[in-house]
Chains A and B, each alone.
Chain A
Amino acid sequence: MTSSRNVSARQQQDLLGANEREQSALRRNGVIDKLFEKGTLTLALAVLVLLATIMGSLVAAGWPAFQELGWSFFTGDRWAANIERFGALPAIYGTLVTSLIAIIIAVPVSLGIAIFLTEMCPVALRRPLGTMVELLAGVPSIIYGMWGVEVLSPFLRDHFPALFPAGTGLTTAGLILAIMIIPFITAITRDVMVTVPPMMRESAYGLGCTTWEVVRNVIFPSVRGGIVGGVILGLGRALGETMAVTFVIGNSLFLNPTLTGQGTSIAALIANQFPEADGLQRSALLLLGLVLFVITFIVLAIARLMLRRIENRAP
């Protein structure tokens, strides 16, 4: 046994030109490699298990409400807990509309900030401005909520009383969300734009391109994927944002298919009602949580699809 092992070790030694000590180090490394592989695999699987468990528990908890309410849950135009009429449409509408408004405002602004920071900003200003954008990303959402209810909504009410009679509403929530996600999209866009090799930039300038042409035709095509990623991250935050939205959205539980009217979002509705809910209402709120989960999934899937298309089209 010992001798055969010695022989094989000697053979390996001959093969690899490694001595006994190096051999044992190699074996040890092999074990560590295995452990490392298995360990990371376990962690990766844990994420999957966690996701599946959350989804499973939401389905299990929301099932009684779905059985009771059926498809009227998705088509009902009001969420009236006192008469057990639970229609998710106002909340779904509010979630999608506020996120859409936020993205429409935030994307151009963020791209503008990122272009300025990477292409045109004087070097002395670059660091402080960049740091400030990153600081904005770190402001807790409750602060945005308080600012929204104390500053933004009175401002809108006083200056545009025809559009914002109460100051709050879907558009106000969209504005707050836009401000909240601008730093995210900006920071990511700036980071990916910096990765474009200076050679490409300088060649384009050397050919006589204007700054706009460089950004439009050289930089953007090579960092499309990163920018879309930043937008997805922002959209994800906008869809699930709770605290700030609850403060300014108006919390109306009736479907109000306008852009500036009062409304609610899924996250805001859950936050408002969950602590006092029991029975069917509790189950309906959990089902609503599942709906938000699915909406986020669909949005992410669409974004991935878009990303693949863009990358296929790219030269």
Chain B
Amino acid sequence: MSRERSGRRFGRSIVGFAFALLASWSFAATPSPLPKAGANGNAAALAATARAPGPAAKAVRIGYVELEPDARYDPLRLKFRGLAQPLGRPFAGAEVALREARFVGDALGASFALERVAGADAKALLAAIDTLHKDGVRFFLIDAPGAIVAELSQAVRGRELLLFNVSAPDDALRQEQCQANLLHTLPNHAMSADALTQFLVSKKWRSVLLLEGPRADDRLIAAAFERAAKRFGLKIVETKKFVLSNDPRQREQGSVALLTAGADHDVVFVADSDGEFARSVPYRSVRARPVVGAEGLAALGWHWSWERHGAPQLNARLEKQAGRQMSDPDWAAWVAVKAIVEAVVRTQNAPFAQLRDYIRGDEITIDGFKGNRLGFRPWDNQLRQPMLLATHNAVVERAPLAGFLHPANNMDTLGFDRRDSRCAF
């Protein structure tokens, strides 16, 4: 990332940050290049022209904690636009949600502010959380890979705060590693696998060739798919390991033609966490078979081509804010801030314990622009939500698909239902 990290600069000056954010939006209507609040050194200078919240405004501060550098946002990787990959740092999503909270904030006499901090490892991020927590911040969005999220949530266990995981899809975070004060707005691997599997079952594409990459994260994706296949009755006819290599000695594992030449199958599922191999799979297979998983058709929390339930407006706001399209983690960061705002609004900005209980409770209605009322599963703190089955430029279906029913809530056919949960808070 070449973008200047500005967390430290704004970390001590929430009010300035909130002003700067508003100021940047007053410019957003003009077609000129947009100043990016929090990422732009000039943002603070714009503060003088900003509309200030009322003097009595009670600040609701949200820490935004991100690993930097983070390989998932490597510029080269972003450039490839892998179907199941982020399109940029999800901070942009949080900024859009903050902007949406403007009017409710004014009406309540509350102001919402994001405080962005970055660190190179779990230790640095934990120190940043500590500092903000001592300063009164209770809500934190965490943009970091699963291992770091696990470490952070373990370290702050029992503390009076809430962490929102916005970019780690690891199933373990919702199972053995779950924590009472760790919530997940990004769908996990099991939810994606179940959504995709429901789609394959509905198409009667029941036999699958599974291509699995060499990384630990690839194994997690493959394991989630194996679980879903068993759950919904798909047959994995063969599993083959791939490597990203032109080495002729490894051609059995490097050539898509050789990898797909075995037993016949209806579809190819690619378990590829960084998407680089996956993008070379479609059209290189021996048989004319659709590719799903990391390329071709993916089950996502969000896709910029989604057009219903107000999605075009949300996509437009993110594009205005970030100068790029909206992807999964952007949505997850956006909806995390929305959940906090919703709790503040409905409880008239109650003390933290009440806000926490409201967010985790049954009563909350979070509008995720996917048509359903969203809320967190009480057994593992995962946000239940529909999944979008998307190609590179269209949403083909929304899961849960018609016919996949659940006794209480059809969205609980995706991912870990109460009886599947190994989480004990």
**A and B interact physically:** no
Task: Write the residues of chain A forming the contact surface with B, with a CB cutoff of 8 angstroms.
Answer: none
